[in-house]
Structure 1
Amino acid sequence: MPEWLVEDGIGETRAILVEGDRVLAAKLRWPGELHAGQQVTAKLTTKRGTRGTGTLADGREILLDRLPQSASEGASLSAVITRGAIAERGRLKLPAARPPEAVTAAADDAFSIGKKVHRFPAGLWEEVWAEASRGEIDFDGGSLLFSVTPAMTVVDVDGDLPPRELALRAARALGEALPRFDLGGSIGIDFPTLEAKADRKAVDSLLENVLADRPHERTAMNGFGLVQLVARLEGPSLLHRLASSRTGMAARMALRRAERVEGAGVTLLTVHPALKAKISDEWITELERRTGRPLRIETDPGLAIEAGAAQIVGHD
């Protein structure tokens, strides 16, 4: 049976749904973030009909929906976060929330029900992270190319197979990709053009099957091969985090590599200069506590942002 595993990292907590040696789904949470399902108390700052804004005790703002008629500005009210904040180019979408009575029962929280582990099985998180970093998932005969835009996530289907077969294989891969990237919201998929209506219906039917367990709405494929779907959005996907905070994601991944190397001596972490600036003293202290080794950071401007490397060297 698939099982959620949870790994407490430095600067982030990771969760993966594992079946055998395959990752079926992945989630990521950073400390201090408001996340879906979290209960908060807010002061109702503004109200326009059933919508408004609220302010938490720490000063953060949230968007409120489904407000009761009796709610008045200045009042304190309970709310449940339905979507975490999402950073986009040039703006930040505030967290969204609703009164508890207006929230439908959500799925179990992976971070609460998952099995806490010291380390994920080797290679599993690395594989998902690399796919999200590239924005690409390969399948037999083709690949899915993901591009995050402020309006939607666009998926381009690429490959050399006959159009019908390529589209069908891409549809299967898409069903696996969405939970692996924790991807929701508005998603546009550019399949190869299928002239025959029967071929388009075959792809629509397959999408219905592979997405059956994922709440969504979807258009039928049009004559140009375009499909748009809207899936439940609870927070930033791995793709969104890499698009808006690539250096922060890469810094956390570099620290994870440094934490996983074994041996006595000094941990030498070699990273792009931009990553060194992102690694806080608090993170360094935590890494040294976890490993029992001092950390030395060196920079190499020739390295890619994602290419931080860790090794054990002799004592200073």
Structure 2
Amino acid sequence: MVVLSVPRVDVQRFHDDGFLVIEDVFDPVLDLDPVVREYTAKLDRVADAWAADGTIPSTFADLPFTQRFAQILNATGSIGYRPFDICLGGPFRTDEPLEASMHAGPAVFNMMRHPRLLDVIEQLIGGEILSNPIQHVRIKPPEAMLREELVKRNTMMSAVAWHQDQGVALPEIDQTDILTVWFPVLDATVENGCLCVIPGSYHRGMLLHCPSRPGQGFDLRIPDEIRGAGGIPVPMTRGSIIVMHRQTMHSSLSNKSDGVRWSFDLRYQPVGQPTGRPWFPAFVARSRQDPSQEVHDWRVWADLWEATRLHLADDTSGMKPRRWTGTEEACA
């Protein structure tokens, strides 16, 4: 077994470019393969339940993961992605378990607080690290396998327009030293829809965002006339990560391959700063000052989301609107 050294971060380059790719943060076999197994088991459970209640016509158990996931999404529509994301999405209901509302499992949690990942983050924001609840897993089958409606209306399954992560949170986050961490579960290539970034773009500050699609309050984009030119694709091998400043402009390409493009999109910040989604639960991933505050048990993390789910099922009044209305002149 290869013992990986502590990843060293080129802090100056990160400050120059607003992003940094760091190789070999994770061991693909020891760290990422358990995530694949956990999601494969989750897909089995969800398919069995939905086939039993008639939500889908079959479990599609004879298909490989990519084709099976695509068939289930085609049969259920956008709502079918809910059990697989690592963040709650509406509708919020009391008559279903957390298992049906999002995914919270030990393999995913272990990735979120992986020591080598936290070593990278600590070099950029210090040793008091909060796991921000703006987080997603994106499992994108080839767009050719999906119904056109899904590709057009849901960025969990399709390309993501140019945006800044600060732009999709409440203004309270504007002074938070939030760091985006993105990593592929399988290799991310130009063909299957890797990220694209604009080096140095965060130096321009916060830019206007508009809804990418009618009625979408969460799916935002920077208008082309504001964004300007530029942008480079960033292919990545499994085990690597990219860290980005909260104002770095980035997007993703379409999956035109015959395999899945699978990635995690996480956020970290110093403890004590606003998260931009205060109705969702954050947790302390590392504290050099008070390690007793750290959450080490994935079940504690899952319980935080369960309590949030039950609360939001009764009262969503605390979920404040985003900063952009879509009525701005450039959005017309």
Query: Which has the greater radius of gyration?
Result: 1
- How does the TM-score come out when normalised to structure 2? 0.28
- How does the TM-score come out when normalised to structure 1? 0.29
Relative contact order higher in (CA < 8 Å, ≥ 6 apart): 2
Q: Which has the higher strand share?
A: 1
